[in-house]
Amino acid sequence: MSGAGGSLDTTLGFDEALERAVAAAEPARSWLVPLLAAEGPEAERLRRAADELRTRTMGDEVHLRALIELSNYCRRNCMYCGLRLDHTGVRRYRLTPGEVLALAHQAEDLGYRTVVLQSGEDLYYETEVMAGMLRSIKAETDLAITLSLGERSDVTYAAWREAGADRYLLRIETTDPALFAAMHPDGDLERRMRCLGQLKALGYQLGTGVLVGLPGQTVVSTADDVIWMHELGAEMIGVGPFITHPDTPLAGANGGTLDQALNLLATLRLVFPHAHLPATTALGALDPQGGEKGLEAGANVLMPNLTPETQREAYLLYPGKPIVDVTSATCRDRITERVRAMGRTVATDHGHVRR
């Protein structure tokens, strides 16, 4: 992990920090920290600068990625997550390959150009099961496919890429070794970083992301996350405010705030002018206007939910997840309306990463 960028006593004032960001300076703690910690009018200026840069680099189009939550089984015990193995109160489900293929067709019929296949770390979808599913979707539709299935072997990643997966999302969550270990009792930061390196080497369009507002997390730690993602060459980055789930060991902890998440999102836009940045559903869980606020702070992607309504409420990584009670078609209509109401348009191309 990089600690580059100097110590906090070299931290710049907000104005100079924003100038560095707008001038596309090499990311460093000295200017990332004041941006991440911005409040009031300064936070507004940060988000405006990010919005202006997004207009210039990515245009006004918003890319919609249809999210299909394949399974809420998970072998891991991340401290913050409602799907963790030890949470026995969850009704677990898995979609069959046939159901997933039908949903992919539905996605295409609704006008989506990408499906995101996401699940807990569920080894039921072993290499060939998943590869078969990918080949079928690619043969029968013109969809781009993003996978978000956690840590797997190099062989598996290679097979899925070969079978047609275009992109992979694997969030690092935090690059702080002590915090990562505290949040992931069965995790290994080095292993996760190796997985990301392997995904990149295989030619996947590479997505990662972080949580913000974790217990004990500091803005310096978040600045280091940004520096690390820059070194990695991340092409898609999701920001999740930490939201406390009542059935996890962190039930009593304070959660992250929308302002923390928006500051990070805006800072990421300034550091990654051409990355695809979603306004994540977690923003909408903190504020009914969270999606819009994310799109006004540098984001250019939304991820509407296409998981069958009967399973959607069982895929609760955190409470308050929006749009768990509307049909997929209604969800699509509402999101399109919201994008248009902002004077933006829904993209009609695949929205691949530009290299």
Rule CB under 6 A: which residues touch ligand SF4?
Answer: 74, 76, 78, 81, 83-84, 120-121, 150, 317
- Note the maximum CA span of the chain: 57
Query: Quick one: tokens of 5?
Result: 């960028």
Whole-angstrom Cα distance, residue 345 to residue 334?
13
Pick 11 or 248: Cβ nearer ligand SF4 = 248
Pick 12 or 316: Cβ nearer ligand SF4 = 316
Whole-angstrom Cα distance, residue 32 to residue 221?
11
Pick 83 or 270: Cβ nearer ligand SF4 = 83
* Minimum distance, C-beta of residue 149 to ligand SF4, in the bound complex (Å): 10
Pick 280 or 336: Cβ nearer ligand SF4 = 280
* Minimum distance, C-beta of residue 110 to ligand SF4, in the bound complex (Å): 26
Written in H, E and C, the secondary structure of the chain is CCCCCCCHHHCCCHHHHHHHHHCCCCCCHHHHHHHHCCCHHHHHHHHHHHHHHHHHHHCCEEEEEEEEEEECCCCCCCCCCCCCCCCCCCCCCECCHHHHHHHHHHHHHCCCCEEEEEECCCCCCCHHHHHHHHHHHHHHCCCEEEEECCCCCHHHHHHHHHCCCCEEECCCECCCHHHHHHHCCCCCHHHHHHHHHHHHHCCCEEEEEEEECCCCCCHHHHHHHHHHHHHHCCCEEEEEECCCCCCCCCCCCCCCCHHHHHHHHHHHHHHCCCCECECCHHHHHHCCCHHHHHHCCCCCEECCECCCHHHHCCCCCCCCCCCCCCCHHHHHHHHHHHHHHCCCEECCCCCCCCC
Pick 76 or 200: Cβ nearer ligand SF4 = 76
* Minimum distance, C-beta of residue 212 to ligand SF4, in the bound complex (Å): 15
Closest among 164, 190, 140 to 1, alpha carbons compared: 190
* Minimum distance, C-beta of residue 187 to ligand SF4, in the bound complex (Å): 8
Pick 81 or 220: Cβ nearer ligand SF4 = 81
* Minimum distance, C-beta of residue 99 to ligand SF4, in the bound complex (Å): 20
Pick 74 or 223: Cβ nearer ligand SF4 = 74
Pick 143 or 283: Cβ nearer ligand SF4 = 283
* Minimum distance, C-beta of residue 183 to ligand SF4, in the bound complex (Å): 9
Pick 78 or 219: Cβ nearer ligand SF4 = 78
* Minimum distance, C-beta of residue 150 to ligand SF4, in the bound complex (Å): 5
* Minimum distance, C-beta of residue 174 to ligand SF4, in the bound complex (Å): 12
* Minimum distance, C-beta of residue 319 to ligand SF4, in the bound complex (Å): 14
Q: 67 has which bridge partners?
A: 116, 305
